[in-house]
Amino acid sequence: MPSLTGSEIRDQLLGYLNDSFPLFIPDAPDDTPMADHGIDSLGMTNIVVQLEQQFGIEVEDAEITRANLGSVQSLVNFIGKKLNA
């Protein structure tokens, strides 16, 4: 996958989250916890699968943490690191 900027990653991620999760609030601050968007553990599993497919990355079990996946900002940072690894 070609290199993406943080803004491009964010835009793609927000599009997916907004389309897939009815309670997702796209105008909320990027550091809002996913739980505040109504996303539970099953939803997080769906997000991980989507990240792997959409961005061509592999998410290890040990990487499934709040620090990596807990908010839009943490997801953008995590995806950026994985793409540039």
Domains along the chain? 6-83 (1.10.1200.10)
Angstrom CA distances, 67 to 22, 31, 78, stand at: 24, 11, 9
Angstrom CA distances, 10 to 13, 61, 68, stand at: 5, 23, 14
Cα dihedral 42, 43, 45, 51, rounded to 10, equals: 170
Global pTM? Answer: 0.92
pLDDT at residue 2 above 70? no
Q: Give the per-residue pLDDT at 22.
A: 95
Q: Give the per-residue pLDDT at 7.
A: 96
pLDDT digits (tens, 9 = 90+) for 12-70: 999 999 999 999 999 999 999 999 999 999 999 999 999 999 999 999 999 999 999 99
* Nearest residue to 37 via CA among 81, 75, 78: 75
